[in-house]
Amino acid sequence: SAVISQKPSRDICQRGTSLTIQCQVDSQVTMMFWYRQQPGQSLTLIATANQGSEATYESGFVIDKFPISRPNLTFSTLTVSNMSPEDSSIYLCSVEGGSGRFFGPGTRLTVL
Amino acid sequence: LAKTTQPISMDSYEGQEVNITCSHNNIATNDYITWYQQFPSQGPRFIIQGYKTKVTNEVASLFIPADRKSSTLSLPRVSLSDTAVYYCLVGDLNTNAGKSTFGDGTTLTVKP
């Protein structure tokens, strides 16, 4: 299994600002995934991040709004840009292990 | 990508066996079936994964019929701490890692 940590665990931000969320994995992984989970909803995949290449975004998500970095095989960041109250969600990073997908604890973002 | 359908909610009592069924009529040949558990304010946690027939681990069993169009997660003798949302996920871990779509999940409430 993989141990995943995220920073910050939660934040309250003003609209129009940006927040960068960090994800650290305790082992090297090829692919890292970023999900969003809005209150009371299921998880929605935002993008897949491979080390050394551009992230691949799912329909409805764009790089300008959610830029992603993947500088090495154990770390990734997701930035939520120009935030609005609709961006209030839990953001989770995830990696694929040998027997399933492992998730970080999530970052709870509230935009005022 | 296979779409999954689960009951929205289920109630049970401590000590009972709980079976949660997931329908995935469009499952592809290379797709695996994975179940996750999510507590409030936490990321989903891997429970069990299977391809066909029956898989058992220390926490659950997974039953998959021959046509693989559904699967049933079985939780033996549930306790109050098993109250959570349970997600069934179907996808090809090798070629579509990350592309698996989370369904709406089943909220299990265990009562004393």
Each residue's pLDDT tens digit, A101-111: 889 999 999 99
Residue A50 has pLDDT above 90, yes or no: no
pLDDT at A1: 73
Q: Is A44 on the interface with B (CB under 8 A)?
A: yes
A53 DSSP assignment? S
Residue B94 contacts residue B39 (beta carbons within 8 Å): no
Using CA coordinates, name the residue in chain B closest to A108. Answer: B41
pLDDT at B98: 52
Return d(Cα B64, Cα A19) in angstroms, integer: 43
pLDDT digits (tens, 9 = 90+) for B90-104: 887 665 555 667 888
Return d(Cα A71, Cα A77) in angstroms, integer: 9
pLDDT at B99: 62
The alpha helices in chain B, defined as continuous H runs, are none
pLDDT at B41: 83
Q: In this prediction, what percent of chain B has a pLDDT beyond 90?
A: 71
Residues contacting A26, CB < 8 A, separation 6+: A2, A3, A4, A74
Mean of the per-residue pLDDT values of chain A: 93
Q: Which of B4, B39, B46, B56 to mutate to test the interface with A (most CBs of A within 10 A)?
A: B46
Nearest alpha-carbon partner for B6 in B112, B88, B75: B88
Strand (E) or helix (H) holding A47: strand A43-50
Chain B residues lying within 8 Å of A92, measured CB to CB: 43-44
Residue A83 has pLDDT above 70, yes or no: yes
Q: Mind spelling out the 3-state secondary structure of A55-85?
A: CEECCCCCCCCCCEEEEECCEEEEEECCCCH
